[in-house]
Amino acid sequence: GLAPSATNLVLLLSHVGRVSVGLEGLSVLELGCGTGLAGLAAACRGAHVMLTDADEHALRVTRLNVLANAAVGAAVAVRTLLWGEALPGGLDYVLAADVVYDPTRFAALAATLASSETRTTIVIGYHPRQPAAEAAFFSMVAAQFTVVRQQYNDHMAIILLTKRAG
């Protein structure tokens, strides 16, 4: 089935689109995209999207999903991005569903996020599984980011990160 966190990010995008200027023409990267659901939803809302994952099998599935959604396919690129590598520049949003799950990967994930520009808003959605480890991750990134809990309960957390200037 679909990852609940990706589904909730799609719902958040719909809500954000109704109360703001929408995603038309904005640049969005989905980090650890899996099937690409959240990024494809952003493309349907008019964003230029890059779907990224480290797993080649996931990227093959993602490419098939892009082809199946041909109407938005022209606005979607798919590529490998390993945690620890820098994000491309010029991003308005980074979407990340269920990336906060493996404490051994937190430093690499934090390094990738730290490469973002101050103009980029990072939206992380996840199902809380390890509260102490997740809190440690967000404490790790709090030195460089303002961390805002958009939603948090036993089933879903949505966290917004904005990079501090300087």
Instruction: Kindly report, residue by residue over 101-118, the tens digit of the pLDDT.
Output: 899 999 999 999 999 999
Rounded Cα distance between 89 and 72, Å, is 22
> pLDDT over 70 for what percent of the chain?
85
Cβ proximity of 59 and 31 under 8 Å: no
**Which pLDDT score is estimated for 69?**
86
**pLDDT at residue 16 is higher than 80:** no
pLDDT at 152 over 80: no
Burial class (CB in 10 A: 0-12, 13-18, 19+), 28: buried
pTM over 0.85: yes
Task: Label residue 62 by pLDDT band (50, 70, 90).
Answer: very high
**What pLDDT was estimated at residue 14?**
57
Please provide residue 58's backbone torsions phi and psi, each rounded to the nearest 5 degrees: -60, -40
CA dihedral for 37, 87, 143, 146, sign (positive or negative):
negative
* Average pLDDT value for residue range 8-31: 69
Residue 15 region, left (φ>0) first, then alpha (ψ -120 to 50), else beta? alpha
What amino acid occupies position 86? A
Per-residue pLDDT at 10:
64
Structure confidence at residue 75 (pLDDT): 85
| pLDDT at residue 74, rounded to an integer | 72
Interval 16-28 mean pLDDT: 68
Nearest to 92 by CA among 36, 25, 8: 25
138 in Cβ contact with 95 (< 8 Å): no
Q: In this predicted model, what pLDDT tens digit does every residue of 33-46 receive, in sequence order?
A: 999 988 998 888 88
Q: Which two tokens stand for residue 139?
A: 């404490």
**What residues contact 15, with CB distance under 8 A and at least 6 apart?**
none
Across the chain, which distance is largest between two alpha carbons, in Å?
42
Whether 12 has a pLDDT exceeding 90, the answer reads no
- How do beta strands 48-53 and 27-30 pair? parallel
When the pLDDT of each residue in the chain is averaged and rounded to a whole number, the result is 87
The whole-number average pLDDT for the span 128-147 is: 94
